[in-house]
Chain A
Amino acid sequence: MTPTENLVKRLPTEMGGLDAGPLQRVEHEYAPWEKRCHALANVLDIHKIVNTEEKRRGIAALGSEMVEKLTYYQRWIVAFANILFEKRILAPEELARKMNEVAARHSATSKC
């Protein structure tokens, strides 16, 4: 098999049957923003804005490097942003502006 063949044959998120090391029996308490991210996924699904299958595809579309390096809910929120751009529900510059606004709000309060 050529070095790139596996990239063609598998989605970046497709793990079944790959070689992997011992189990990592890790668990962590979800951070509040991670729970909110999960709640957002459920609400988007309920409103038929983004369903689970679209989310899964959106995560695969991040590509293998992001799938590997981002944490679980980091992948989710980036995928949601991309899917909402694709659906013309959000515009990239609109999200960038809002993110600046949110960051500014936090830096204002954290100076207190």
Chain B
Amino acid sequence: MSTHAQAHTPVPDAGDAMPSYYEIMETAVRELLVEKELIGAGEIRQMLEVMDTRTPALGSKIVARAWVDPEFRTRLLANGRATLEELGIDFFENTQLIVLENTDKVHNLVVCTLCSCYPREILGLPPDWYKMKPYRARAVKEPRAVLAEFGTVIPDDVEIRVSDSTSMIRFLVLPERPEGTENFTEEQLAALVTRDAMIGVVKASAPGKEKSR
């Protein structure tokens, strides 16, 4: 049952400043849906907590595991979603996850030209540049130039494959394991895998150039 008090279950707020027109609209839509009992009073807050657990660190662990465990890598490439569900990662209904493996012959790059589809289950929310026109417009037309703007130079004899995401199909790039990491632990390897490497705009970091986090 939805009481007035429950409908106003506090969710993190922007502070004391007068909210914008759009923020007021968000609050109003949410409260109306709760009053109509179409969504639960605490559901948005619970979803925010789930979203906070989804960060690129999860993707980094998956990549590191695929580097050290060939059997896992094979399953991951065969069926990304099912393999990650075995690890307890929840997916939204109807979304498939395709894992794209970079090799010395192929470099993969992921974009969403229509909107901002992204493997949020394992990378969290996409960066702004992924959602903005220049990346979405140019990644499919001149991927080498786009990569160069990220400081990534791909030799001409390496094929670049650009995958365009949809609401049903999301992609994760499995970067190449950097050289000189033969004795690294899975945890040390994960530290080399940045979010941008899993989108395909950069390579995994070289040893000694780990993420600061």
Contact = CB atoms under 8 A, between A and B. Distances in A.
A36 B24 contact: no
Q: Give the residue among A13, A14, A23 with the most B Cβ atoms within 10 A.
A: A23
A52 B13 CA distance: 25
Given A15-B133, A15-B137, A23-B146, A39 B29 contact: no
Given A11-B114, A20-B134, A24-B134, A74 B19 contact: no
Interface in B84-132: 92-95, 111, 113-117, 125, 127-129, 131-132
Contacts of B132: 24, 26
12 contacts: A16-B113, A16-B114, A16-B136, A16-B141, A23-B150, A33-B22, A33-B27, A36-B44, A56-B114, A81-B29, A95-B29, A101-B28
Interface of A: 11, 13-28, 30-33, 35-40, 42-47, 49, 51-53, 56, 59, 70-74, 77-78, 80-81, 84, 89-90, 94-95, 98-99, 101-103, 106-107, 109-110
Contacts of B129: 23-27
A12 to B, nearest CB: 11
